[in-house]
Amino acid sequence: MKVSVLAVAVWGKVAPSHSITAVMITDDQQTIVTGSQEGQICLWDLSSELKISSKEMLFGHTASVTCLAKARE
């Protein structure tokens, strides 16, 4: 069975000033999580129309975020 996936641009027409190094989407497909070379983790809301809006930016890492993983409950 072949599944088609639509491409989504996270930043719209202008790229952000930080470098995205890791991307993860939640199981419910409503939140995208990105890690950056500058050490930030960003949370993005993803609508059913594939519109993305920023939700939160997390600071504190002193190195690049190169991998993201879900934690168990």
DSSP 8-class letter at 73: -
From the CA atom positions of the chain, what is the Rg in Å? 13
Nearest-angstrom CA–CA distance, 12 and 8: 9
Only one residue has tokens 């050490």, namely 39
Nearest-angstrom CA–CA distance, 68 and 73: 16
Query: How does DSSP assign 51-70, residue by residue?
Result: -EEEEEEE---SS------P
- pLDDT tens per residue, the chain (73 residues)? 666 555 556 666 666 666 889 999 998 889 999 999 889 899 999 888 888 888 888 888 899 999 999 887 7
Q: Model-level pTM?
A: 0.73
